[in-house]
Amino acid sequence: IRAGWLIDGKGGPVRQNVRIAVKDGIIAGLRDAPAEPEGYLPEAIPDFSGCTAIPGLVDSHVHLTMRGSADEELRKRLRAASYESIRRVIGDHLQDHLNHGVVAVRDGGGVRGYALRCARGYPGPVCVRAAGRAWHREGRYGRLIGRPPAEGLGVAEAIRQDGERGDHLKIVNSGLNSLTEYGKQTAPQFDLAEMSAAVKAAAERGLSVMVHANGAEPVRVAVAAGCRSIEHGFFMGKDNLARMADKGVAWVPTVVTMSAYARIFEQTGRNPDVARRTLDHQLDQLAIARRLGVTVALGTDSGSPGVEHGAAVIEELQLFMQAGYSLPEAIPCAAVNGARLTGGEFGLIEPGRPATFVIVEGSPSALPESLKRVRAVFIDGIRHVETG
């Protein structure tokens, strides 16, 4: 396959005029090839000389059973819909992801576990990793995406007794961000002893733990307990980011959610100032994470109000770049870092890796906007999106 430009996902410089050799679904070789006269290439060689190749992308935090609509009545109907109806919705959402170059998603939970159920029988090309139902403390935030332990059980024992086998475990350890009171933080739902026991119980089942946590103390507890990733992490502070860098804990910042809320509030006549200030603070934290070397994985929280599946990846990448990431630095966050969270071997374009990559129109200067114009998505060497 000939590509005009190549971003291999390692964070290095862009390469130009590259041949990607694919054999049996694996990248067999890469070599620079000088520009050749028009019509020189044999018809058997796909020619994307006016396009850019990037690794297949991962959205590391989605809610497949939810639409990105801000219409609360629609959102309520979806929460009450049958599994068969939701299965079709999930299929639509996965196609939306694929059309924007996303080859894998990591679902953050739903109250009925439909995303996990659907993933088990999903025949499509997008890799789906799902938590099933999340865990939260009785009376605290989380009922839309999970459930509390049964009465009399601690969260660790509830995890051990649970018959639901997800691909990872989701624990909620804070509340939501306030959209009316800037910087408001909530207490941890589980203390360090409880969270440590929960992470240990998950490990006994072979599961890593993703933790919804905002604010300094809920994040500190989750990191100290040994979680795999912090989801959201609004207002967690530099000290927590340093701890995450030291421990190798990944951060999925979901910045685009605050941008979406600011737009919704502007459109509906509500005050968007808190959402805007929260967005700016998260961008500041993202800049600090870049300097400290925190492993950051792109996740959009798609399915949240105003956050559309697939398309939101474009804005999240733009926000990463606004925070100081170059395009070659942002792509690994959206590719190999997410692939590691989902257990995939893809995420880099290099020999020996799966031939899983995306072809977008134009040069790298058109990215990430050109993800609206995906020419091809190759997964394990098979082309699944074909336009132009």
DSSP 314-338: HHHHHHHHHTT--HHHHHHHHTHHH
Q: How many CA atoms lie within 13 A of 253 on its CB side?
A: 35
Q: How many helices (H) and strands (E) does the chain have?
A: 12, 16
C-alpha to C-alpha distances, 376 to 32, 52, 385, nearest whole angstrom = 21, 11, 5
Copy the structure tokens of residue 24.
């049996």
pLDDT at 43: 59
pTM: 0.96
Q: How far apart are alpha carbons 311 and 316 in whole angstroms? A: 9
194 with 153: CB under 8 angstroms?
A: no
Q: How many residues does the chain have?
A: 388
Give the span between the Cα atoms of 256 and 31, in whole angstroms: 37
Please name the amino acid found at residue 229.
S
Mutual orientation of helices 273-292 and 238-247 as an angle, nearest 10°? 40
Q: What is the pLDDT of residue 270?
A: 96
What's residue 39's pLDDT? 54
Residue among 111, 85, 106 at smallest CA distance from 94: 106
The Cα 260–Cα 309 span in angstroms is 13
Q: What is the per-residue pLDDT for 34? A: 73
Model pLDDT, residue 44: 66
What stretches in the chain show pLDDT beneath 70?
35-44, 388
Dihedral sign for Cα 206, 309, 367, 98, please: positive
Supply the pLDDT for residue 42: 57
